[in-house]
Structures are given as C-alpha cells and as structure tokens.
Chains A and B, each alone.
Chain A
Amino acid sequence: QEQLQESGPGLVKPSETLSLTCTVSGDSISGYYWNWVRQSPGNGLEWIGHIYYTGTTNYNSSLKSRVTISLDTSKSQFSLKLSSVTAADTAIYYCARAPLYGGRAVYFDYWGQGSLVTVSS
C-alpha cells in the first residue's frame, strides 16, 4: 500500500517561494509520474505538474513560469517550488501518484492527505 505525505510551511508571505515535499513510502519511485494538485477554497482540483521517475517534467501552462518540481530518488521524495506567490495561491496542496497508462499520466491512484498553505503577510 503506497503512502504519500506532504510536508512544508503552512504560511508563506506574498512574493516569496512556496516549498513543499512529498515523502513516498511502500513502493518504488520507479515507473510512475509524481504529481502536485491543489484546491483553493471553494474550488475544484487543479493540476500543477508532475515529474516522471526519469526526471522529465510537465507543468500546467498557467503556472509554468513559477513552478519547479524535482525528485530525490535516494530519499523517495519529490518537491514543489512555486515562486512569487500571491493570495490566489492559498490552497490545499496534494501530492499524488499516477501510473504510466498508454504512455501518459492519465489518472491518479494514490493521494497524500493534503497540506494547507496560506499566503499572507
């Protein structure tokens, strides 16, 4: 049974960089896409981006200029950095695993519990 756990500061100041880490336990990092998804208050799910275990990344075009996702296979962790944050980035941030399906990340099979990040001075 795969388990994912987000960690990081719950409060970030405007214009600073949001940093979160997802620790994976139970299975190998290999063979999967590792994703970040967020949900702002009262809204639906928004895909931020993912990293394949080989290091290849894809990002949501609306966030691409501010997002970096990286992978540390030795620690079974992957991380999210979102720069120049504003109040609009206040959300619950989830990490999630996506198996390779038809060569793509089509669906998510495991999710973390989520980490609330508030952007405020």
Chain B
Amino acid sequence: QSAVTQEVSVSGTVGQKVTLSCTGNINNIGSYAVGWYQQISHGAPKTVMFGNSLPSGIPDRFSGSKSGTTASLTISGLQPEDEADYYCSTWDYSLSAVVFGGGTKLTVL
C-alpha cells in the first residue's frame, strides 16, 4: 500500500478539462509540495509540474494545486499528445523517503 494514491485511470475527450488527483496524508502531501511527471509509452518521465509551478517548455494548459492532503493536476483543453501515464511524488518525513503515487493512465478519447 503506497503512502500516496492516484486514480488508476482517467479519460477525457479532446478539448475537455480533466483533473488527476494525488492523495496522501499529513506526513507527505499535507506538509510538502508535489511533483507531477508524464510518461509517454514507457519512455523516460518528464516533469510537467512542481507545486503550482510550470517547468519551462510545458504548455500552460497544465496547472497544479493542493488542498490539505490532496494535490491535483489539471489539464485544460486536453490534447491527443497528453495521453500518458502520470505520476506524482513528494517527500514523506515519517518514512524519510520520496514517495510516488501508483500512477494514473490518462486516455484521450
């Protein structure tokens, strides 16, 4: 059982807004910012969000937020190229470890 959980799968149509969630506890998401990573076709992960900051080169249709012990990645105006696995991560101070969510498979219909 991971310390941080994500939806197994989410789907949306082109142009739709979708939100992926990452739920933890006070030891991790409740205390630290969250990173989000996109992995297309089992390639190397690519960072698409950290906290609510957008890395250089990432489209501004990606946005991040956090409320309590749940972080969210929202994609506004979904594009076919957004179809991928998305993972979240943060630090867990009770485990003294980086923790990953199990990943969400985003399908663009």
- Known pairs A47-B89, A50-B98, A109-B55; A94 contacts B45 (CB<8 A): yes
Residue-wise, chain A 103-121 has the 8 Å CB interface mask toward B (1 for contact) of: 0111111111110000000
Which of B46, B50, B97, B100 lies in contact with A44, CB distance below 8 A? B100
In the bound complex, do residue B89 and residue A108 qualify as a contact, i.e. CB atoms below 8 Å apart?
A: yes
Which of A46, A60, A108, A112 lies in contact with B35, CB distance below 8 A? A108
Residue-wise, chain B 59-98 has the 8 Å CB interface mask toward A (1 for contact) of: 0000000000000000000000000000101110101111
Interface size on A, residues (CB 8 A): 29
How many A-B residue contacts, CB cutoff 8 Å? 79
Residue-wise, chain A 17-38 has the 8 Å CB interface mask toward B (1 for contact) of: 0000000000000000001010
In the bound complex, do residue A107 and residue B100 qualify as a contact, i.e. CB atoms below 8 Å apart?
A: no
Chain A residues with CB below 8 A from B96, complex form: 58
Chain A residues with CB below 8 A from B33, complex form: 101-102, 106-107
In the bound complex, do residue B91 and residue A111 qualify as a contact, i.e. CB atoms below 8 Å apart?
A: no
Which of B44, B90, B101 lies in contact with A106, CB distance below 8 A? B90
**Chain B residues touching A, range:** 20 to 34
Mark out the residues of chain A between 36 and 82 whose CB falls within 8 Å of any chain B CB in the assembled complex. Answer: 37, 39, 44-47, 50, 58-61
A67 to chain B, nearest CB (A): 12
Residue-wise, chain B 23-58 has the 8 Å CB interface mask toward A (1 for contact) of: 000000000111101000010111100110001000
A83 to chain B, nearest CB (A): 20
Measured between alpha carbons, how far is A96 from B42 in the docked complex, in Å?
16
A105 to chain B, nearest CB (A): 6
Q: For residue B6, which residue of chain A has the nearest CB?
A: A44
Chain B residues with CB below 8 A from A107, complex form: 33-35, 47, 50-51, 89-90
In the bound complex, do residue A47 and residue B98 qualify as a contact, i.e. CB atoms below 8 Å apart?
A: yes
**Which residues of A are at the interface with B, using a C-beta cutoff of 8 A?**
35, 37, 39, 44-47, 50, 58-61, 92, 94, 96, 98, 101-102, 104-114
